Structure 1
């Protein structure tokens, strides 16, 4: 069974997760869920703990459950997020070899593989999905990271033929729109604005999308206001912190405190890795030059 299918019992908890409402997912009452839906719901709750930086809790929770591929995939994601990259990669590659048809292995394995720069391995694993919309969304993200907007758009258009009204498909189309640019910035903004207006909790991922669209539209104060308000409610949301860093850079404001918070919350975050890489490049370049003082 695809753990991310649109089963009636899972729709609400899935949508909350996809919008970044991680605490709501954790607090979701799953006692009435059918036996076949208990595992996918638990996976979403464990992933929410990871998203909130509670990786050690997750690792302890799934420590002795490696025989369940879904939970082993969660363990790999937690290991990666906690900075244990090599262990996570080895576990994911083992799972991909032994359980390539498992939807959770595809999505979480693909996430870890892409984070380790193994895009082709990630895409090969994700391509095995059977109607898994989260796999589609991840494929779109990978193509965008590869600067292949054409392939990302093709993936979205194909998914719209069988999942026209899906939240994930709408979000994926917005991601592509923000990469293509032009009039699509405004279209993407409307999608996130609609999500935000429909959700009184100001889900962080909706806020992030809306803020990024605002940035592209040249509306930095509006973007900053949205991110600041969301950070007050979700102070440990890595995506919000990362986008606050970008906003501060654009506005000429200091970023040190935010960078420290991101390092504490999610040391493996792609922005954190990029900052570290650029810092190392700068230090390496600086060693090639020395001050020349005239005697």
Structure 2
């Protein structure tokens, strides 16, 4: 039986992992799963721990002991954990890697290229090269690669590439389409298509996830999904609803920060500024739409501080250069 099907034992943990319910994922025990699925469960637990900005070193070390035949998996996880924890990787694991040999290696190396090298184009090339070397049956079970590839192309505005990749996915067997990863990909593709019906379908998809799945401990995941709903509301031109979601996000952050201070808990999850860069970018859009851009300069400065390589910053710089070139071309010289 497919472990990822509705009846498979990995269905729920996989659903929770890919909908950013990382607190829930970290609470699973390996013993609750059959031996053949325990490595994948531990991978999800470790990656969720890192997503929560917590150190996963002990989990990784235990994994090496439990799965001595899969040390390559824990080597890449340790390198990723070190980068997240310390901002550096003494082993230069990702820097030295030129070609991925397995899925997790391809995924985390791509994240490295995006987050630390700020090179989206190279990340896309790296993933495409990995996919070209996979046989078709392996591709059916490694569609997280497609999820990331589509996301990167969306960020770069390569919408024609997004449609081509999605067309490839649509030729896969039906069981692939039952996968939560496929459903997320489908929601993203619909979000760039014309028509309110597509946008509404995307909105209700994430609204259902948020309302039916999350609990009070899923702080980061809740904010992540609220940001998606905020962006979809902007696309739907639901500006009052967008403002309401911004208030929800701010209140959740404030409540969490206050609770952390009261508990003085050093092991609680942490927020990093650069995890909120897309929220700031879309706040700027909303400000320009409803507030004549009165707060945009301040918000742009905040965005530059946390992610000077954000696509909006690059777009602003490009527009300014174009404006300056036009002014220079047509300015008159006093006689």
TM-score (norm 1): 0.70
Q: Which residue of 2 aligns with 1:72?
A: 76
The counterpart of 1:173, out of the listed 168, 171, 186, is 186
SS at match of 1:75: helix
Correspondence for 1:110 = 110
Deviations 1:104-162 (A, max 9, x none): 11222233446512122222224535312312212322443422242133144235723
Measured in 1, the distance between the counterparts of 2:97 and 2:73 equals 7
Q: 2:142 aligns with which of 113, 132, 141?
A: 132
Structure with greater Cα Rg: 2
Partner Cα distance (1:249, 1:225) in 2: 17
Corresponding residue for residue 49 of structure 1: 52
User: What 5-or-longer segments of structure 2 have no aligned partner?
Assistant: 65-70, 216-220, 255-270
Deviates more, 1:28-37 or 1:131-140: 28-37
Match of 1:215 in 2: 234
Mapping 1:182-261, distance limit 5 Å: 182=195, 183-201=197-215, 203-234=222-253, 236=271, 237-238=275-276, 239-251=278-290, 252-255=293-296
Q: Answer whether contact 2:223 2:249 (CA < 8 A) is retained.
A: yes
Going from structure 1 to structure 2, the CA distance change for 1:227 and 1:82 (only over 3 Å counts) comes to farther
Deviations 1:67-103 (A, max 9, x none): 634542563586489876xx79x63364453x52x22
**5+ long unaligned stretches in structure 1:** none
Partner Cα distance (2:147, 2:167) in 1: 12
Cα distance, 1:157–1:280 mapped onto 2, change above 3 Å: closer
Question: Deviation digits for residues 255-277 of structure 1, max 9, x if unmatched?
Answer: 5665566567x647x63x54167
SS at structure 2 position matched to 1:124? helix
Q: How does 1:148-163 map to 2 (within 5 A)?
A: 148=160, 149-159=162-172, 161-163=174-176
Q: Larger deviation: 128-137 or 236-245?
A: 236-245
Q: 1:82 to 1:215 in 2, by over 3 A?
A: farther
The 8 Å contact of residues 92 and 109 in structure 1, kept in 2 or not, is answered as: yes
Kindly indicate whether the alpha-carbon contact (under 8 Å) linking 1:25 and 1:45 is maintained by their aligned counterparts in 2: yes
- TM normalised by structure 2 equals 0.63
State the Cα RMSD in Å.
Answer: 4.3
Corresponding residue for 1:275? Answer: 313
Task: Tell me how many residue pairs correspond in the alignment.
Answer: 274
Secondary structure, aligned partner of 2:199: helix
Matched residues in 1 for 2:144 and 2:298: separation? Answer: 33
- Which moves more between the two structures, 209-218 or 243-252? 243-252
Q: Are the equivalent residues in 1 in contact too, given 2:146–2:165 (CA < 8 A)?
A: no
